[in-house]
Amino acid sequence: MLAYADVRPSDTVAGVPVNFTLIPVDDAPDVLAEYAGLVASDGTVLWERNGAEHVAMASTTKIMTAVIAIENFDPNTPVYVTYGAANTEGTSAGLQEGDTATMRDMLIGLLVPSGNDAAVCIAENVAGTEFAFVDMMNAKAAALGMKNTHFANSHGLDDDEHYTTVQDYYLLTRYAMTLPLFREIVAMREATIHIGGREETFSSTNVLWDYMPDVIGIKTGTEVNAGYCLIAGAARNGVELYAIIFHSGGYEDASNAWFRFEDAQTLLEWGFKHYRQVELINSSQLVGTMGLSDWVDKSVEVYASHPVTVATFDYKGSINQEITLTDWSGAIHQGEKVGSIVWSQNGEILATDDLIAATNEPAPGFFEGLSIWWTRLLGGCSGDAAHQSTEILLPNTIDISTPTPEASTDTPTATG
């Protein structure tokens, strides 16, 4: 019997079903959402629930709407609001027929208050009709590798032909967050824009900022089939994570609205605890000493050519360090490559770096060479080593199992 109702054996950590002999039950994420995932900006999937199953995505659809607009329309160009756009059902940016605004302001109306009217306005101005715009959305989804996604509209209102998967939204979210204008807008907690000669001020529908630090956006969604949804991003200590939340509490009960924020907070904080930057080596760290085969008693200190830090997931186990040094003869110069170091985790290479000599050492001269030859001849008779041995000072593995201290995890309160 599970200790938590919403920690499930089918949940996966790093692609492996939860196994409580490896992952303590009190550390596995406890979330309500039926479809959810946690992914790093580099594409590393940390945790997932029902990630390949079709699900409605509500207004998180507008992530793709914004991507298409940003890539196909000048943000400073005015757009025009038609009767159809102004009268789109659902959430609204307050558009009126005949209004004009820049595309940038319309994107704010799309992403901050989640205006369905702004979605249709954008679609009509970019492609002529919403139908043609939806074709562009589906083409972009295919280009991004979203193989189990189909868009039927630009806003996210329920439609049987409008669906995605958590796994596909990893791809869309990571891509959208590479677009500077998109990142700028979804990071707005409040925004004032100019539409039709008047000012409109909006507050973001994403209130995760109120409950945890380091939030960077991005988009909420609410619909009957989709329930309460949230795509949430946060960045901390050089790591950027995205929580994908679909159907976190049923739409039939408005008090369920806050669960998506709690789920996102749970996943993000868990992610920052276990997926973090680890310094593998720095340039002042002595790797070892390398014996010079032309000499009897000389060696050089060896260092990494660059400091190396990587983001890594502690549940994948310790990091292996494989060091290779060259059998060196002849002169050697400071900074010359003498070997390599490879870091891997669970069979996957994380990083590599060159190893370099710290000092200059000449090759033996003629008379030095004769002396070395004679010393080795005598040493061979007595069993002495022919030259200085090579010594590696670093361990074979780096233990990353000890987590960093957890950040504050205040529990969200209900929101609309």
**Catalytic sites, residue numbers:** 59, 62, 114
Q: Which amino acid is at 228?
A: Y
Tokens of 155: 């806003």
State the pairing for strand pair 35-40/45-49. antiparallel
Q: Which two tokens stand for residue 20?
A: 């409580």
Helix, strand, coil content of the chain in percent (nearest 5): 30, 30, 45
Say if residues 175 and 233 touch (Cβ distance below 8 Å).
no
Tell which residue, 188, 184, 166, has the closest CA to residue 176.
Answer: 184
Contact criterion met (CB below 8 Å) for 177 and 218: yes
| Token pair listed for 178 | 């590479």
Please give the Cα distance from 303 to 300 (Å, whole number).
10
Burial of 278 (0-12, 13-18, 19+ CB in 10 A): middle
Beta bridge partners of 308: 281
Residue 283 phi/psi, 5° resolution?
A: -70, -15
Is residue 385 within 8 A of residue 293, CB to CB? The reply is: no
Q: Please, where are the H alpha helices in 9-161? A: 62-72, 83-86, 103-111, 116-127, 130-143
299: which strand partners? Answer: 291
